[in-house]
Amino acid sequence: MPEIPFPSTARDSRFEPVLSRLTDEFSDVHHTTTVTRCVDAARHGAEDVTGQATPELVERIARQHLQVLALAFSERA
C-alpha cells in the first residue's frame, strides 16, 4: 500500500507512535485512514469516559476496534 501521511488536523505528537505501530500492524487489512479514524475515536472516547487519553490506553482501544473491523470484513467475504 502506498504511504499516506497522517492528517494534520489537531494531531497530538504523543499519538504518532501509536498511529505508526497500528498502521504497520494492520497494513494488510486496513487503509491508513481507517487506522487514523480508529485512533482518533479511541482518543476521544477515552477522554470522554476517563477524562484523559494516554497513548497506551488509546492504542489498546484502537487495536480492539481494528480487530473487530477486520473480523467483520472477513465474515462478509
Instruction: Note whether residue 52 is domain-resident.
Output: yes
**pLDDT(77) > 90:** no
Domains in the chain, number: 1
DSSP 51: S
**pLDDT(9) > 50:** no
Instruction: Produce one character per residue of 34-63: b if its CB has 16 or more CB atoms within 10 Å, e if not.
Output: bbbebbbebbebbeeeeeebebebbbebbb
Instruction: Note whether residue 1 is domain-resident.
Output: no
Instruction: Note whether residue 49 is domain-resident.
Output: yes
Domain that holds residue 68: 13-76
Please identify which residue in the block is written with the cell numbers 494516554. 54
Instruction: Note whether residue 23 is domain-resident.
Output: yes
Per-residue pLDDT of 18-64, as tens digits, reads 999 999 999 999 999 999 999 999 999 999 999 999 999 999 999 99
The predicted model gives 7-17 an average pLDDT of 72
Instruction: Note whether residue 3 is domain-resident.
Output: no
Instruction: Note whether residue 64 is domain-resident.
Output: yes
Instruction: Note whether residue 40 is domain-resident.
Output: yes
Q: pTM for the whole thing?
A: 0.82
